[in-house]
Chain A
Amino acid sequence: MNISFDKRDFSGRLALPPLDFKVARYACSAIGGPRSATITATGDANDLWELIEFIRSPVKIYSDHGDFVWWGFVSEVELKLGRMTAAVSLDGVANRVAVVFSKVEEGETSGEQASTPWADHLISQNEYGIRELLYSTSGATEAHALAARAAILEQLKFPLPFQSFTGEEVEKPSATIYCRGWFDTLEWRYYQDLTTAPVDTAAQAVAIAAAGGQFFTAIECGLTSGIVTNPYRDGQATALYELSELLRMGTTNQRRMLANVDIGRRLHITEEPVNVQANTWLLTKDGELRDPFDTPVRKDTCPAGVWARLKDVIPGSLDTSLLADPTLMFVEESEYDVSTETLSLTPRNVEDPWNIGRPKDG
């Protein structure tokens, strides 16, 4: 497998330092397409430090068959050097900040909700993209809220490096590059729509993606959901949350809407495929995925968003009439481990442990 890193402004490829890069794993999802990837690098410590500058660089992974199998951006770089771990991450960066507060002036005991205007750090935005933070605080004056906004912006405008030290020294210097898919960047922006005239939810999804998808080059949606709702959004939830809710709401065909970001950073919104034999993939009891012609699927393509049926596992005598078909699963997410060449499939409706406890609204 090969990896390419591009410049943050997508204007060309970056020259790689002379390190040994290896793709450890990557995952794709029915909602969003490429989701996460982990790349390791070993070599000279001075060359490893250069990887810090790759934060937010677009990254693509090529298979040995010459096709792209994963694409996204670098969200975190972690170095292990001797006893020190040094890391830089985009998590926690905020270069556009506003403060929501209860406006309690002097002499008052309560107040209405208010918010400051947005403040921008343009240099950081030009480099990394816009990452918004709507900071909430209770009882404050406007001056207090403005001061808090300025302080937060100053502290969080750039990725913060951090270091830690352990008792054990690593055998050789190494780096781990954590990558995320472009769909994740919808979480960087809040979405507001103050109109109230009913709109088809698919059209709303397009509007949300257009407003929040600063890195998308186009949005393709050839469907109407048939469900019309009030598009009003107060602007206190991220575009990712608002879009995810609409996709989950689905269409009048009782199917979800799915989203995929392709190699050209185009977002495609489609309806979840219907389960018919002609396009149902096959799953052996060993966990091997095969296409509808019973040909093994290349694991490194990491397919997601397809139906798969178990082959010859459920005995014919079992009465499944009051159950959802136990032989059928919708591949919600797949993950490919490069070193062991194993593909792990996650079916729909399994709770993502990384979402537990994460704030999604407000």
Chain B
Amino acid sequence: MGMQLYMQRFEDDRVTFGAGGAIVRLNGFYPQVGVDEHEPVVEHFDLLLYGTSDELRALQRQITNLFHAARRYKADPEPVWLYFSPDESAAAWRAKVLDGGVILSAGLDPMWRVQRLRLTVTVEREPLWQGPETQLPLTNWNAESTLGPLTIFNCNDGAGVAPNRRCNFVEIDGDDIPGDAPALARIEITNTLDHVRRAANVMIGLNVESSPTLFNPVLEAEAATGGTTQASAGGSGGSVKLLTWSGTAESVLLTWTLPTALLNQMGGNYFRAIGRFTSSIAPTCWVRLRVKLALTTIWESPFVALSEFVFGYELLELCSLRLPPYMLGTGDLYPLTLELIGKDTTGAGSLTMDYLQLTPLSGWRKLIPMGYHLPYGARLVDDGIAGRLYVDGLAEGGRVGHYIGYGERIRLEPGRPQRLYFLMSNDVSSSEITRTAAVKVFIRPQRWAL
């Protein structure tokens, strides 16, 4: 069983450092194990080339041209890769080549006369090896372990029946992710709501650390004390809450209990608090979140002016917070309360709230269009593998890069269950709970050593 070792940018410029033929690999190849994702690895191996003078020059040129391309295109979606597998039966894994060169041996003259050329190849590469791309089976309340695409909604109240049961997450089985380093992911989101209103912003949160198979990030407003529950077909759980206050002083609008079980799941990790507000909001209205132990405030966010989010979408990010706000591990955490505080600098006011989603921040991605948005049938591809973000599936065909991505590209942990949560807004001030999308996830697993 022979080793596989070759370098290429595209298949037609592949150079194979084989055990036979015109390029023979001497003394084997022993890839180093990197320890830091940001520290490249430098390796050497020896080659013996066979051929006429012209053939030797051409072979050497092939190798050096690839290194020129590696230096030029290392930030490109199509860089140069070094492929390696210890045996030929398994698919080769690849590492991005950043730099390199060849050093000719001291015995150049006598060897050249017998139509041989010995050289040492030096390769500088990224430390992680990437495996072949695979699609991940996904699970949620609409299907189990499907290659999908899998339907998600814009709320998590569980209403309806599969395959149209309302949930906004996809779950990934950690056993489906090989490797020993977080895997690069390509997330494909297709707008499946046939409606004149297009999809716009997409927020994605990854939960690895906060009991992903148990944790429900949505706190319904009607589950909190305070306010007046109103039936609403457009609200998650079939209702929303009317919140009112008088005067300019701050008022407690809603109070949720955070029980021990929920705090244990949260485990002192970070969450992004995103509120869904279903009424128009006065530009002088401010809210904050406050965590309390009985009557004592133990954490509070700064006040956030709801209307400062100039695009006017109903899904409004309030703050990032750690829950519980102290790190005592899990097990017997005392229940806390989470308050939504509001005030209006001009006096009495009201607003209507549907839910508060505490989006886990094991990973966070926010995708915002520059305009045009995402029409029905179009697909938004957040490709962390190739480092691209684009839309395709438009009526006119082709791809367009009119979305901007914020946050680190999502990476999925090998061997651990995890969930991706999605929230979407549309191209006017709304985020319908019935807005649907179809999700697929692909990965390239990564390893430090092969």
B361 touching A66, Cβ below 8 Å: yes
- Nearest CB on A from B258, distance (A): 16
Check A162 for interface membership: any CB of B closer than 8 A.
no
Partner of B317, one of A16, A66, A262, A266: A66
Q: How large is the interface on A (under 10, 10 to 19, 20 to 34, 35 or more residues)?
A: 20 to 34
Chain A residues near B326 (CB-CB < 8 A): 293-295
A64 to B270, CA, bound (A): 11
A264 touching B305, Cβ below 8 Å: yes
- Nearest CB on A from B263, distance (A): 14
Chain B residues near A20 (CB-CB < 8 A): 75
A65 touching B370, Cβ below 8 Å: no
- Nearest CB on B from A113, distance (A): 42
Check B407 for interface membership: any CB of A closer than 8 A.
yes
A264 to B287, CA, bound (A): 14
- Given A64-B364, A66-B320, is A295 in contact with B308 using a C-beta cutoff of 8 Å? no
Check A314 for interface membership: any CB of B closer than 8 A.
no
- Which residue in chain A gives the minimum CB-CB distance to B366? A66
A64 touching B305, Cβ below 8 Å: no
Check A126 for interface membership: any CB of B closer than 8 A.
no
A160 to B302, CA, bound (A): 39
- Nearest CB on B from A63, distance (A): 8
B302 touching A62, Cβ below 8 Å: no
Q: How large is the interface on B (under 10, 10 to 19, 20 to 34, 35 or more residues)?
A: 20 to 34
- Given A15-B370, A20-B75, is A67 in contact with B404 using a C-beta cutoff of 8 Å? no
B370 touching A295, Cβ below 8 Å: no
Chain B residues near A16 (CB-CB < 8 A): 404
- Nearest CB on A from B219, distance (A): 18
Partner of B270, one of A65, A220, A291: A65
Check B166 for interface membership: any CB of A closer than 8 A.
no
- Given A65-B272, A65-B364, A67-B272, is A4 in contact with B322 using a C-beta cutoff of 8 Å? no
A66 touching B407, Cβ below 8 Å: yes
Chain B residues near A66 (CB-CB < 8 A): 272, 317, 320, 361, 364, 366, 406-407
A66 to B322, CA, bound (A): 13
A263 touching B272, Cβ below 8 Å: no
- Nearest CB on A from B5, distance (A): 30
Partner of B322, one of A12, A63, A295: A295
A217 to B283, CA, bound (A): 11
A62 touching B407, Cβ below 8 Å: yes
Chain B residues near A62 (CB-CB < 8 A): 406-407
A293 touching B325, Cβ below 8 Å: yes
Q: Which of B306-321 contact A (CB under 8 A)?
A: 308, 310, 317, 319-320
Check B368 for interface membership: any CB of A closer than 8 A.
yes
Q: Which of B293-312 contact A (CB under 8 A)?
A: 298-299, 302, 305, 308, 310
Check B345 for interface membership: any CB of A closer than 8 A.
yes
- Nearest CB on B from A109, distance (A): 58
- Given A2-B406, A20-B75, is A10 in contact with B310 using a C-beta cutoff of 8 Å? yes
- Nearest CB on A from B409, distance (A): 11
A164 to B368, CA, bound (A): 39
Check A13 for interface membership: any CB of B closer than 8 A.
yes
Chain A residues near B368 (CB-CB < 8 A): 13
**0/1 string, A261-294, CB within 8 A of B gives 1:** 0111010000000000000000000000001011
- Given A64-B407, A66-B272, is A293 in contact with B361 using a C-beta cutoff of 8 Å? no
Chain B residues near A64 (CB-CB < 8 A): 361, 364, 407-408
A128 to B44, CA, bound (A): 55
A67 to B407, CA, bound (A): 10
Chain A residues near B408 (CB-CB < 8 A): 64
Chain B residues near A263 (CB-CB < 8 A): 308
Q: Which of B385-413 contact A (CB under 8 A)?
A: 404, 406-408
* Nearest 9 Cβ contacts at the A-B interface: A264-B308, A67-B320, A65-B320, A2-B406, A66-B364, A293-B326, A66-B272, A264-B305, A295-B326
- Give 12 A-B pairs besides A66-B320, A266-B308, A295-B326 with Cβ atoms closer than 8 angstroms: A4-B406, A13-B368, A20-B75, A64-B407, A66-B361, A66-B366, A262-B305, A264-B308, A291-B299, A293-B299, A293-B325, A295-B327
Q: Using a CB–CB distance below 8 Å, which chain B residues touch chain A?
A: 75, 270, 272, 298-299, 302, 305, 308, 310, 317, 319-320, 322, 325-327, 345, 361, 364, 366, 368, 370, 404, 406-408
A-B contact pairs, 22 of them (CB 8 A): A10-B310, A13-B370, A15-B370, A16-B404, A66-B272, A66-B364, A66-B406, A67-B272, A217-B308, A220-B345, A262-B302, A262-B305, A263-B308, A264-B305, A264-B308, A266-B305, A266-B308, A293-B298, A293-B299, A293-B325, A295-B325, A295-B326
